[in-house]
Chain A
Amino acid sequence: MPSTITPPEIDRHRISDGNNGHRPPTDKRTGGNGEGDGDNWNNRPRGHRGPHERISQARIGLFFALGGDLMFFVALISVFFVTKASGHFDAYDHFINQWLPTAIPSILWLNTIALLLSSVTAEIARRAMFRDVDAMDEWFGLGRPVSYRAALWLSATLALGILFLAGQWVAWDQLAAQHVFFRSNPSSHFFYLITITHAVHLFLGIVALIVALAALKFSRSLATRQVFVDTTVWYWHVMGALWIFLFLLLEFGQ
Chain B
Amino acid sequence: MTLLQGCTQCLDSTRAAPPAVQAAYRHAILLLASAASTLFITGTLLLRRQR
Contacts and interface: CB of A to CB of B under 8 A. Distances in A.
Interface of A: 56, 60, 63-64, 67, 70-71, 74-75, 77-79, 81-82, 84-87, 95
A85 B47 contact: no
A82 B29 CA distance: 10
B43 A67 contact: yes
B6 interface: no
Contacts of A74: 31-32, 35
A67 B28 contact: no
Given A63-B43, A81-B27, A82-B25, A71 B50 contact: no
Contacts of A84: 24
B14 to A, nearest CB: 11
Contacts of B25: 82
Interface residues of B, number: 20
A173 B50 CA distance: 47
Interface of A is mostly: helix
B50 A67 contact: no
Contacts of B47: 60
B7 interface: no
B10 interface: no
Given A71-B35, A71-B36, A78-B28, 18 more contacts: A56-B50, A60-B46, A64-B43, A67-B43, A70-B39, A74-B31, A74-B35, A75-B32, A78-B32, A81-B24, A81-B27, A81-B28, A84-B24, A85-B20, A85-B21, A85-B24, A86-B17, A95-B18
Given A67-B43, A86-B21, A95-B18, A79 B35 contact: no
